[in-house]
Amino acid sequence: MVQPAVVPLLDAAGARAGDEAAVEAGDTWAGLMDRAAGHLARGIVAAGGHGYGLRVAIVVGKGNNGGDGWAAARRLREHGAMAWVVAVDGSDVEVSDEAAANRAAWIDGGGRTSDGLADLDAALAWCDVAVDALLGTGTRGTPRGAAGAGVAALRRAHGTGTVVVACDIPSGVSADDGSAAPDAAVVADVTVTFGGLKRGLLLHPGAAHAGRVRVGDLGPRYDPGETTWDVLAPAGATPTRWDAATDKRGRGTALVVAGASGTSGAAALTASGALAAGAGLVTAAVPATVRTDVAAGADPGVMVHALPADEQGAVDAAAVHALPNLDAVDVVVAGPGLGYGPGAAAVVAALRRDARRLVLDADALNVHRDAPEALAEHRGDLVLTPHERELARIGGGSDGHDAWEHRVERTPALARSLDATIVVKGPGTMVVAPDGRVWVCPLGGPELGSGGTGDALAGIIGAAIAVADDVPLAVAQAVWWHAAAGEAAGRRAAGRATATRLLGELPAVLAGLAAWTERSGAGLPWDAWRMWQPGRAPTDVGRTGLPRSTAR
């Protein structure tokens, strides 16, 4: 089976539009619910490891998510499983016609049922698998009332080792942005979602609640319409294949402007990252005080160019006139370890004015903290790579927490106003293009939370966009490579990998992607990628599977 290049990401409105389009085209609401219930039942059996004799407690609410739960209870009988449905709002509460029909069919058929919360803990203690069918994609915020009590009970059950399966999305998690009230959202081992992958299952903190994600197809008539949000599958992250005639300049020339006294390693990692990711020629332009250190620390293929330094060992404003010819360079990467004094500010301003393609990271962003609107003034393609505090400094919010909480709705507008591609680094890294396209990275873990990994990423992005036709897409690919290499390094170090180890794994990741053309596997495409990697045992995926937490 040929793997897709991208997997679309849906918000709640898109999921609803898909349902409505299917019904308008000839499907029925009852048919869609039955189809979803079949996927949910199969996901429950897979999570439990067997069907016959499996004990399943299904905690249902009064919406159509609960209707899916009632319908799945009957489907579980076909697998030989035993279901106990707990209706936290009671079994006589008003629900949709489809949910009511499935509820009646279960109860009239003698299915085990409890009203309210009285038997909830007993049911969860009895079961092998607990199912969250309380709240669906149309809800957000902290669950209240009976639903809130149901969420709390499911959280307790998960904490004692009970396998939890979420129906469509864990209750308490927003499908739109992955927000989840602290200690008030279901934590699932598996989420069975319907129609398409929801944003909130990849965006954190929601992603940390989702566990392994399974997508159930709702049929050819299900059509959510055009979406600008995607996640790259391995086929979409595959690097450009060079032909035999491609020389080093054809692969792209990169200039790295970085480093200062005490931060020479940042410059070395950035330049080495660009070379490892495929740039043909890489030059590091650094303050003269650290030229020797950078030359010793970087890949031997990196050339080092000295810039005037000030008394503190940082770049001097005179360096503006000592930069290599920028018209002869495909991409400039600036910022790691550069400092944010007057010299750095002058150099970065010159780069914005003259570089054909420019990646600004770390200190090259921080020099704009008092006038972020200046970032809109640039000659060529611009890529910005902020973490949450830097995102706030360039206009994304009042502080880091505020910028991170509202990144989903604010960053597309910021990218448009600055005419820049913005990489919002962190768990579930977002790549936001100025034309409105957004990619969410499905990979990465705690190994990306060590010093220098962001410097390496800046260099990798530089190499990826040096000669790319579609700069934002190339940035999304670079973020994918970086996260995949981090995961590979982390597996050998219990998640405690360094930036140097990450770069050591990058060539193998690129080689693996080049060989990944028509591989198939169960689950989501990047899940199959993880399972396919040579020497990887299936158990290495771990309990929570996809997606994993990321921190930078």
Across residues 251-272, what is the average pLDDT? 97
pLDDT tens digit sequence for 478-504 = 999 999 999 999 998 888 889 999 999
Closest among 129, 146, 137, 197 to 173, alpha carbons compared: 137
What is the token pair recorded at 497?
Answer: 């990998």
**Which of 454-468, 505-519, 530-544 holds the top average pLDDT?**
454-468
Q: Report the pLDDT value the prediction gives residue 138, as an integer from 0 to 100.
A: 85
CA 377/CA 353 separation, integer angstroms: 7
pLDDT, mean over the chain: 92
Q: Report the pLDDT value the prediction gives residue 533, as an integer from 0 to 100.
A: 66
Q: Report the pLDDT value the prediction gives residue 551, as an integer from 0 to 100.
A: 33
Closest among 209, 270, 197, 269 to 4, alpha carbons compared: 197
Across residues 283-311, what is the average pLDDT? 97
Of all residues in the chain, what percent carry a pLDDT higher than 90? Answer: 85
Are residues 351 and 361 in contact, defined by beta-carbon separation less than 8 angstroms? no
Q: Determine how many CB atoms are found less than 10 A away from the CB of residue 197.
A: 22
Q: Determine how many CB atoms are found less than 10 A away from the CB of residue 182.
A: 8
Answer with the residue of higher pLDDT: 90 or 515.
Answer: 90
pLDDT tens digit sequence for 18-27 = 999 999 999 9
Across residues 401-417, what is the average pLDDT? 96
From-to residues of CATH 3.40.50.10260 in the chain: 6-231
CA 421/CA 437 separation, integer angstroms: 10
Closest among 111, 103, 104, 160 to 133, alpha carbons compared: 103
Model confidence at 545: pLDDT above 50:
no
What per-residue string of b and e applies to 261-276 under the rule 16 or more CB within 10 Å gives b?
Answer: bebbbbbbbbbbbbbb
CA 52/CA 247 separation, integer angstroms: 61
CATH of segment(s) 250-516+524-541: 3.40.1190.20
Of all residues in the chain, what percent carry a pLDDT higher than 70? Answer: 94
* Tally: H helices and E strands in the chain: 19, 19
CA 356/CA 379 separation, integer angstroms: 6
Least confident span in 228-242, 421-435, 490-504, 518-532: 518-532
Least confident span in 82-91, 120-129, 349-358, 506-515: 506-515
Q: Report the pLDDT value the prediction gives residue 527, as an integer from 0 to 100.
A: 73
pLDDT tens digit sequence for 118-132 = 999 999 999 999 999
Are residues 27 and 219 in contact, defined by beta-carbon separation less than 8 angstroms? yes
What is the token pair recorded at 492?
Answer: 């050998």
Sheet holding 55-60, edge to edge: 112-115, 82-87, 55-60, 129-133, 163-167, 190-194, 212-216
CA 493/CA 485 separation, integer angstroms: 13
Superfamily for the 6-231 domain: YjeF N-terminal domain (3.40.50.10260)
Tokens 């390693």 locate to: 265
Across residues 506-512, what is the average pLDDT? 93
Model confidence at 14: pLDDT above 90:
yes
pLDDT tens digit sequence for 472-482 = 999 999 999 99
CA 548/CA 296 separation, integer angstroms: 35
Q: Report the pLDDT value the prediction gives residue 523, as an integer from 0 to 100.
A: 62
Across residues 389-418, what is the average pLDDT? 95
Roughly what angle, to the nearest 10 degrees, separates helices 499-515 and 264-276?
10
What pLDDT band is residue 241 in, cutting at 50, 70 and 90?
confident
Q: pTM here?
A: 0.90
Q: Determine how many CB atoms are found less than 10 A away from the CB of residue 440.
A: 28
Across residues 198-219, what is the average pLDDT? 95
Q: Which residues contact 237 (CB under 8 A, 6 or more apart)?
A: 476, 477, 480, 481, 484, 513
Are residues 290 and 251 in contact, defined by beta-carbon separation less than 8 angstroms? no
Would you call the peptide bond into 205 cis, given omega within 30 degrees of 0 as the criterion?
yes
What pLDDT band is residue 46 in, cutting at 50, 70 and 90?
very high
CA 238/CA 169 separation, integer angstroms: 30
**CA distance readout (Å), 253 to 220, 311, 331, 333, 373:** 46, 31, 7, 11, 29
Tokens 């996260």 locate to: 483
Q: Report the pLDDT value the prediction gives residue 542, as an integer from 0 to 100.
A: 35
Answer with the residue of higher pLDDT: 476 or 4.
Answer: 476
Q: Report the pLDDT value the prediction gives residue 540, as an integer from 0 to 100.
A: 39
Roughly what angle, to the nearest 10 degrees, separates helices 453-465 and 264-276?
40
Q: Report the pLDDT value the prediction gives residue 476, as an integer from 0 to 100.
A: 98
Q: Report the pLDDT value the prediction gives residue 139, as an integer from 0 to 100.
A: 85
Element (H, E) at 360: strand 357-360
In 3-state terms, what secondary structure has residue 180? strand
**CA distance readout (Å), 430 to 143, 158, 260, 391:** 27, 29, 29, 12
Would you call the peptide bond into 547 cis, given omega within 30 degrees of 0 as the criterion?
yes
Across residues 325-331, what is the average pLDDT? 96
What string of DSSP letters covers 390-452? HHIIIII-SSHHHHHHTHHHHHHHHHHHHT-EEEE-STT-EEE-TTS-EEE-----GGGGSTT
Q: Determine how many CB atoms are found less than 10 A away from the CB of residue 334.
A: 29
Are residues 299 and 271 in contact, defined by beta-carbon separation less than 8 angstroms? yes
Are residues 132 and 186 in contact, defined by beta-carbon separation less than 8 angstroms? yes
Phi/psi of residue 113, each to 5°? -140, 145
Sheet holding 331-334, edge to edge: 197-198, 6-10, 229-232, 438-440, 430-432, 421-424, 381-384, 357-360, 331-334, 253-257, 281-287, 303-307
In degrees, rounded to 5, the angle at the alpha carbon of residue 269 between the alpha carbons of residues 266 and 271 is 105
From-to residues of CATH 3.40.1190.20 in the chain: 250-516+524-541
